[in-house]
Structure formats: C-alpha cells, structure tokens
C-alpha cells in the first residue's frame, strides 16, 4: 500500500470554503453535514492533487469549470433503480391505487440525481396504466446530472442488478423490454421520459413551486443537518396536497420533525407517510 501524501482540510478551512461558495457563487452548503462534506472535500483535494489549501481555494473561487466539478463531486450522486425492493412493492400496491383516483397525478422527485428513481417510478406508473395522466417533476441542485435524466441513458453493467430489483419489487415483465442497449449503455424507452419535467432546484434556498400528491426524497436529507432537514420537510409539507404521500430513504424518518403530527406512516413501516391533516 502506498502512502498517500495529501493536505488535509481543517475545520476552519472547511468554513472558509463554505463562506466562499455562498458569498461568491451563491451555493449554500453551510447546513450540510460537516463530517460528510469534509470527507468528500478531502477526497477531491487528494484526487485533484492540490499541494496547498490556498491553491484549492483559489481555483474554486476563480474557475467556474472547477466550481462545476466541485458541485458534482461534493454532492452524492449514488442511486439505483428499484433500490429497496419492498419500498417499491409498497408504492406499487398501496400508493399507486390511491394516486389513480386523482385526475392528474403530480410527483416530485426532489434531489433526483441521475434519475434512476424517476425512471423506476415511470415504469411503475406505466404498468399501472397511469403514466398518461402523470407528471414527474425531477429536480436537483446539480445541472450536470439532469442532462442524464433527460437522455434516459444508464450503464449497461447495472441492468442485471436493476432487473433483479425490478422482479423482486413485483415487476412481471421482461425488464429489458424497457430499454435498448447501445454498446456499454442502455437508452430507456422515450415514452417513459416523455412525462418527466426537469429543473434545477436547490432544497436549501428555493421554495415550493407546485402541489403534488407524492414527493420522493430518498437519501438526500441525510446529508443535511437537523435544522435544514426540518426546513426541507416543511417545504415538502407546503408542497403536498392533503392525503398525498411523502417517501423518504430507508434510514430517514419524520420522527421528531416539526411536521410529524400531520403525517401517518404506512402500517407496514415502509418509509412512506400520508398527510392526514391539512
């Protein structure tokens, strides 16, 4: 094993970077989990071989292209199709039949990253014969990932795993019927993408922009501190119709949040809450 020699960002330097991002570029990361940010920043500094903190800071202040890279690397863009199969089974069996009663279904994927969950949802809607009357709003802080969602292109190497997830979540079709393989990537059926509306949206600084019956925000808020989590949950509450659903990641909860009294978790304890009080 080689010794990796690298500068280590200190807590004070982390704060300086966060200040710069906010003051110069308008990105507010000050309420993100510091431990996670620091780890990702140190990985970036190591990977991009910076020799001093000053050099890193300068590049980040002065070069817009590097800022773009920084945002891509600091925000976590790890996602899967049909991740947590029992979650998707529950959406299929308990959430979609309720959504079906609305004339127009609006779903918000907040922090959608590269779009794997958006396409998973589009497949569920199509199979429930609801896609034609649905709109899927997919938003992320990072404009670079949204281009991926628009194109519907994903790595071929992941399809075996996704196909297994799909079957385990109750899918009955041949998963490969949803995409066309092109060398080492696949392109999903354009009909699935046709109901997806893309926009950059920063959960820290942007407000509510519509009313939805389902909001999906899975494994996004774990990167926020407790106070920001509460603010974002209030934003979701403001954006959710009565009797709509809020879906969170496997280790996230409404417990102890400001809005918890208005919500009731599904009985099977999946991380899906229904808004029972306006």
The footprint of other proteins (CB under 8 A) covers 1, 11, 33-36, 38-40, 76, 78, 219, 222-223, 225-226, 229, 249-253
Q: First CA to last CA across the chain, in angstroms?
A: 58
**129: Cβ–Cβ under 8 A, 6 or more apart, which residues?**
none
| Cβ proximity to other proteins, 228 vs 235, nearer residue | 228
Cα gap 37→32, rounded to integer Å? 7
| Cβ proximity to other proteins, 54 vs 250, nearer residue | 250
Shortest Cβ 134–other proteins spacing (Å): 27
| Cβ proximity to other proteins, 36 vs 148, nearer residue | 36
How does strand 153-155 pair with strand 185-188? antiparallel
Cα gap 124→134, rounded to integer Å? 11
Shortest Cβ 131–other proteins spacing (Å): 28
Shortest Cβ 70–other proteins spacing (Å): 15
Q: Exposed (0-12), middle (13-18) or buried (19+): which is 4, by Cβ within 10 Å?
A: exposed
| Cβ proximity to other proteins, 36 vs 202, nearer residue | 36
| Cβ proximity to other proteins, 223 vs 273, nearer residue | 223
Cα gap 34→228, rounded to integer Å? 13
Cα gap 168→61, rounded to integer Å? 47
Structure tokens at 63: 């070069």
Closest CA to 165 of 101, 91, 70: 91
Shortest Cβ 78–other proteins spacing (Å): 6
| Cβ proximity to other proteins, 61 vs 231, nearer residue | 231
| Cβ proximity to other proteins, 166 vs 179, nearer residue | 166
Cα gap 252→234, rounded to integer Å? 15
Supply the Cα-derived Rg of the chain in whole angstroms: 20
Shortest Cβ 44–other proteins spacing (Å): 12
Shortest Cβ 235–other proteins spacing (Å): 18
Q: What is the DSSP letter of 204?
A: T
Shortest Cβ 33–other proteins spacing (Å): 4
């Amino acid at each position: 094993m080689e010794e990796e020699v690298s500068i280590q960002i200190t807590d004070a330097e982390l704060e300086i970077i966060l200040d710069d991002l906010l003051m110069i570029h308008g990105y507010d990361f000050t309420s993100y989990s510091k431990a996670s940010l620091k780890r990702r920043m140190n990985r970036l500094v190591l990977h991009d071989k910076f020799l001093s903190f000053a050099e890193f800071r300068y590049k980040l202040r002065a070069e817009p292209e590097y800022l773009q890279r920084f945002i891509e690397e600091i925000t976590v863009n790890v996602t899967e199709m049909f991740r947590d199969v029992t979650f998707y089974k529950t959406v299929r069996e308990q959430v979609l039949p309720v959504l079906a009663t609305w004339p127009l279904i609006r779903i918000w994927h907040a922090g959608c990253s590269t779009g794997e969950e958006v396409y998973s949802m589009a497949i569920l809607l199509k199979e429930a014969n609801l896609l034609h009357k649905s709109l899927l709003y997919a938003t992320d802080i990072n404009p670079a990932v949204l281009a991926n969602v628009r194109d519907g292109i994903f790595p071929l190497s992941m399809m075996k795993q996704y196909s297994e997830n799909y079957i385990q979540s109750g899918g009955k079709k041949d998963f490969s019927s949803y995409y066309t393989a092109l060398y080492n990537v696949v392109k999903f059926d354009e009909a699935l993408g046709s109901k997806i509306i893309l926009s950059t949206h920063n959960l820290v600084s942007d407000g509510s922009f519509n009313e939805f019956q389902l909001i999906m925000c899975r494994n996004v808020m774990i990167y926020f501190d407790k106070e920001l989590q509460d603010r974002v949950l209030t934003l979701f509450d403001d954006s959710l119709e009565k009797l709509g659903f809020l879906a969170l990641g496997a280790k996230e909860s409404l417990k102890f949040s400001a809005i918890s009294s208005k919500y009731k978790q599904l009985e099977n304890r999946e991380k899906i809450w229904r808004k029972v009080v306006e």
